[in-house]
Structure formats: structure tokens, C-alpha cells
Amino acid sequence: MKISIIIPIYNEEKTIEAFLKTLEPVKEKAELIFVDGGSSDRTLALIPETYTVLHGPKGRAKQMNLGAANSGGSVLFFLHCDSELPEDAIEQIETVMERYSVGCFGIAFHSKNIWMKCCQAISNHRIKDRKVMFGDQGIFIRRSLFFEIGGFPELPIMEDYQFSLTLKEMGVKIGIAKKRIYTSDRRFAEGGRLRVMWKMNRLRAMYRKGVDIEEISGLYRDIR
């Protein structure tokens, strides 16, 4: 089982060095592909030349699809740059993929804030209860299935949500790794934790109701 780790990046100067450290235990076990969306800070300068870096238009879905198209893995693992992997992440994925065609990790935050604890619990319960996973949970999927469904829908926002909804409509079951990915709470911290949680729920509700995606995207502030 060859695993390709695909990492979309854009102006990640503040996170990239810590992220590279979290890749150390897995970099010899998987294919690593960074996909830059036109960074204007020092992100690219901080990535060693030993890593593969692709360049394309900004947009997480477009970047992830570009990485997938240029990968060689039988399993594609899409990972955010502000994530912190468990050291045995590859083994965790391999175990899940023995029984499932798609899976993800549970999510956790280092923050002790009560609202982040609530967000963590809700997100992890959502996978089991509503069969929906988000990008910050580290989605991994068999290559054949990924291309069968057309990859990520190239939307300016909600690409991971629609990806999950499509798999759910197809009846594809989600496997969950035993360990969790720690992710940054930077968006929550900068926007007010409870306010951001409420806003994200509102944006997803708007999407389900068919509100124009550009209008929804305009309400989702880019923090980089």
C-alpha cells in the first residue's frame, strides 16, 4: 500500500517549520507532495529542496486535485499544513484501509478552552453520527474511488463538506483512525471561538439550502 500525502499550502510561513517537524516520522514511509497556491511570504523558502513542491492556482480543492493527479499512491491522504500528526500516522491509515475505502482521523486541539473542547467533541461525533468529515481531520481515500467521484469539487469553500456528502450519498462508509490529529485553533482564536463555531454552522446551512457559493465564500474570511 503506497500512501501519497498531499498538502495544500498558501502563505504558511508561521506554521511550516513546525509542520515539517511533524512529518519527520512519516517522510520515509510515504510520498510527500506540497501544492502551493501562490504564496507571497517565505513559505517556499522554508521547505527543503528534497520535498516535491507543485505550483498551481490558489484554492484548496484545486491544489489538492493537482497534487492527486501528480501522485503515485494507491491511497491519497490530504493533510492541512497546521496539523500535527501522530508518529504512527501511516500505520494508522494502513489499518483503517484494510477494511474501508475512505477514512479520517479524529480531531483534537491543544487549547484547553471549553469551546474548543466542545468543537472537538462535536466534530468527532459528526463522523460517526452524520457520516461527515472535514479536511482538518486528515481525509484519506483509495485512489480509484477518489477519481471515480471526480476528486474534490472545485468550489471556493465547502469542498470537503461536499466531498463527504457525495460519499455519503454513495453509501461509502468512513473508517476512523484510533489516534487523533491535533490542529490549530487559529481561525477560532482570531474570530472569537463561539462566534466562529456559530458562523461555520450557519455557512453549512446556507450551502445545504442552495445559497450561491460565492456569497458563502465571501462570508468566510481568509486569515492568511
Residue 187 in this model has a pLDDT that exceeds 70: no
- pLDDT tens digits, residue range 77-124? 999 999 999 999 999 999 999 999 999 999 888 877 787 788 878 888
Strand partners, 5: 32, 77
C-alpha separations of 58 from 11, 48, 104, 127, 161 in Å: 11, 21, 24, 28, 19
What is the predicted pLDDT for the residue at 115? 73
* Rounded average pLDDT over 152-172: 95
User: Edge-to-edge, what's the strand order for the sheet holding 31-36?
Assistant: 52-55, 31-36, 3-9, 75-78, 139-142, 102-108, 174-183, 83-84
Q: What is the mean pLDDT of residues 188-201?
A: 70
- CA-closest candidate to residue 166, choices 152, 181, 187, 185: 152
Give 162's pLDDT tier (boundaries 50, 70, 90): very high
Alpha-carbon span 148 to 141, nearest angstrom? 11
Q: What is the DSSP string of the chain?
A: --EEEEEEESS-TTTHHHHHHHHTTTTTTSEEEEEES---SSHHHHS-TTSEEEE--S-HHHHHHHHHHT---SEEEE--TTEE--TTHHHHHHHHHTT-SEEEEEEE-S---HHHHHHHHHHHHHHHHH----GGG-EEEEHHHHHHTTSS---SS-HHHHHHHHHHHHTPPEEEEEEEEEE--HHHHHH-HHHHHHHHHHHHHHHHTT--HHHHHHTS----
3-106+127-182: which CATH architecture? Alpha-Beta Complex (3.90)
Contacts of 65 (CB under 8 A, 6+ apart): 151, 152, 154
Q: How many CB atoms lie within 10 A of CB 79?
A: 26
Residue carrying C-alpha cell 469539487:
153
How confident is the model over 132-143, as a mean pLDDT? 94
Which tens digit of pLDDT belongs to each residue from 14-45?
Answer: 999 999 999 999 999 999 999 999 999 999 99
The confidence band for 223, taking pLDDT boundaries of 50, 70 and 90, is very low
pTM attached to this predicted model: 0.90
Q: Return the pLDDT at 189.
A: 55
- Region 165-185: mean pLDDT is 92
Tens-place pLDDT, residues 105-118: 998 888 777 877 88
